[in-house]
Amino acid sequence: MSEAIEIRSGVELPAHREQITLTTIDGLELIGELALPVGKRPVATLITLHPLPTHGGFMDSHILRKASNRLPELAGIAVLRFNTRGTSSPHGTSQGVFGEGVTEQHDLEAAVDFALARKLPNLWLVGWSFGTELALKYGHDKDVVGAILLSPPLHRATEADLDNWIGNSRELMALVPEHDDYLRPVEAADRFSKISHMEVVGVEGAKHLWVGEAATTRVLNEIVRRVNPAAYPLPETWLAKS
């Protein structure tokens, strides 16, 4: 007999969850978690890059946590989360100190190297706010399918960083909230216009922090639409076997 469970904020669906340690080229240990589908190989992998740690961002920031809680089961997607250097979350604290988005290059590279060593398939970078800056600055030449940017502020990423994506074989998409604090859809379309293959998606009613279940659902659906379209749209309920 099965019970239909409505997928809401606190729901954690089945996944194989492994506490992991990433080791950077400059010798730091970063704490993280890898969530895999149960009993089957993932079709794709999200390497998540969290918001600004000096303003409360970490691997457990809600969109990234909910991606880990839902997408392995609902979409067959592996989700790798980690705290960048000097960042603390309920999972623990990574070694080192905040590097202003510079030395975090090594953190991103350690995550990609880990995923490649585990032979995880179809790697995607998913950055949120500060995490989008890391993806733009350091993801253009990595062994990834592409990058998905949530609320990109374009503070640290320069025009030269954007130029690296022009004609790039890697896919690129930005989800831009209508009421973002830093970069809104019209301005984002203009700033990214030089990257002809990029998709900029404006999200009506949304804010920078993607607060509320409607915003979460939209973000996760847009990610799945690009990463595993066969699983799009995500179901609103899940059948739990009793």
pLDDT at 10: 87
Half-sphere exposure of 236 (CA within 13 A, CB side): 3
Average pLDDT over residues 141-160: 98
Closest of 137, 135, 28, 35 to residue 83, by C-alpha: 28
Average pLDDT over residues 187-196: 98
Tens of pLDDT, residues 107-120: 999 999 999 999 99
pLDDT at 242: 61
Tens of pLDDT, residues 17-34: 999 999 999 999 999 999
Tens of pLDDT, residues 117-149: 999 999 999 999 999 999 999 999 999 999 999
Here the CATH number for the domain that contains residue 211 is 3.40.50.1820
Q: Is residue 167 pLDDT above 80, yes or no?
A: yes
Q: Is residue 64 pLDDT above 70, yes or no?
A: yes
Domain that holds residue 67: 2-241
Average pLDDT over residues 201-227: 97
Number of domains making up the chain: 1
Burial class of residue 229 in the structure, from the number of CB atoms within 10 Å of its CB (0-12 exposed, 13-18 middle, 19+ buried):
exposed
Burial class of residue 21 in the structure, from the number of CB atoms within 10 Å of its CB (0-12 exposed, 13-18 middle, 19+ buried):
middle
Beta bridge partners of 171: 146
